Structure 1
C-alpha cells in the first residue's frame, strides 16, 4: 500500500482480501479470487452491511465474514452477455471451432461450450484469469499471454491455430475493435462469423 508515494506495511492481523479467500478455500488461487471479487461473486462483511464491490488487494481482518454469491450460470457475467447476443443475431455455436478474443475469466468461452461448441481457443493478454473449470476442460485451449496481433501471419511471434475457426467472439476493453478486427478476420475461415 502507498500513501503519497510512501510504501506502508499492512497492519498486524490483516491480510489481502484475495489471499483470505484462498486461505479459507473459497478460491483455488489468488488470480481466481481476484476474478470472483471483480465479478461481484463475493459478499464481504456482516449480512446487513455485506458488499460485493471490495477490491482484491484491500487489507482486511482475518475474521472478516466472507461468502460466495450463488453460482451464476456462467463463470462470469460475460456469458450472459454473449448468450443474449447469440440469440439476438441467430448465431449457433453447436459443433463449431471458436475463438474467444479477450477471454479473461472465460464467460464467453463458458457460454460457447454450454451452447455446444466443439472447441474454444481462449485468447487473452493476461495470465491466470481463466476459470479453473475451463482451464481443465479438454475442449478449451488457453492462449494466455497472447496478444491478438499474434494471429497475424506476418507477426514475428505468430500463433498458428491448428484448425480453422468458424466463429470468433470478441470482448476487449483496452483496445479498439478496429485495431483487432484485421487479425481476427484473418483467423476466421471464409464464411465464418464474428460477434463483437
Structure 2
C-alpha cells in the first residue's frame, strides 16, 4: 500500500492530500527513516511513525517553514514586512526564525491570530492596500497575496526591499481568466503555468531583482493548485 493511502486508512490524515502534506512537512518516518515520497510502498511489519511538528496558526506557515528549512536565509534580528499577512502564518514562522520586528500589512481586518496581535514584535496595518503603503525599506519582505497578480505589486515591493524578498507565486492569479480550470479552480493547463512563471521571472529581472531560487512549494494551495516560492535579491 502507498504510504499516503496508509496514513489515510489508519486515521493519521483525513484525506490523501492531508497525508501528502504530512509527508512534505517531514512528519512521516518509515522504519526509522524520514519518508519523502507519497508513492513509497509500505508492507505489513513496516514501522510507520507520524511525528507532529509545531502547529502553526495557518497553512501558510507550513509552506514557509518548508522552504526556510532548505535555504540559508538570514532572518535573525531582521526588520521584516509581511504583505498579505492574513492570519499570520508567515509572520509566526519568521518570528520563530529570529525576526526582530514584523510589519503585517493586509487589505482585510481582524484576521491576524490573537497570539500574534498581542506580540510586541508585531506591527499591525489593517485595511491597508500595499500599493498605498508608505514606509522605509525593510531588511526582508515576504508576500503571499490572493486575487491580485504579483505583477501589479512588483514596483512597490522593490521600493520597500533593501536586501531580499520572498514571493509566493500563485498561478491561478497569474495566468489570466481564459485558462481552463476544474470545478475547484485548479489549473489543468500546466504549460500555461510554466509560461506565466517564466514571464514573471523575466519581469522581476527587468525590474532589478536577482533570482536566487524558484521552487515549488512543498504544500499545494488550498484547492490543489501548485504554488512557487521565488526568492529574490535587490541588485
Under TM normalisation by the shorter chain, which class is it?
0.5 to 0.7
| Equivalent of residue 165 in structure 1, options 119, 126, 138 | 138
Counterparts in 2 of 1:129 and 1:187: CA distance versus 1, 3 Å = same
Q: CA RMSD in A?
A: 2.2
Matched, 1:78 2:49: no
Instruction: Return the alpha-carbon distance in structure 2 between the equivalents of residues 78 and 120 of structure 1.
Output: 16
TM-score by length of 2: 0.47
The Cα of 1:93 is off from its aligned counterpart by 1.2
Secondary structure of 1:89's aligned partner = coil
* Aligned residue in 1 for 2:84: 102
Instruction: Return the alpha-carbon distance in structure 2 between the equivalents of residues 114 and 71 of structure 1.
Output: 13
* Aligned residue in 1 for 2:75: 93
Residue deviations 1:129-165 (CA, integer Å, cap 9, x gap): 00011011000001111111013xxxxxxx335xx41
Contact 1:93 1:117 in 2 (8 A): yes
Contact 1:86 1:92 in 2 (8 A): no
Residue deviations 1:144-189 (CA, integer Å, cap 9, x gap): 11111013xxxxxxx335xx41110111111111111211110112
Q: Which runs of 5+ in 1 are unaligned?
A: 1-50, 53-69, 152-158
Counterparts in 2 of 1:139 and 1:92: CA distance versus 1, 3 Å = same
Secondary structure of 1:88's aligned partner = coil
Secondary structure of 1:111's aligned partner = helix
* Aligned residue in 2 for 1:47: none
Q: Which runs of 5+ in 2 are unaligned?
A: 1-13, 16-51, 168-235
* Aligned residue in 2 for 1:146: 128
* Aligned residue in 1 for 2:164: 193
| Equivalent of residue 180 in structure 1, options 153, 162, 167 | 153
Matched, 1:127 2:98: no
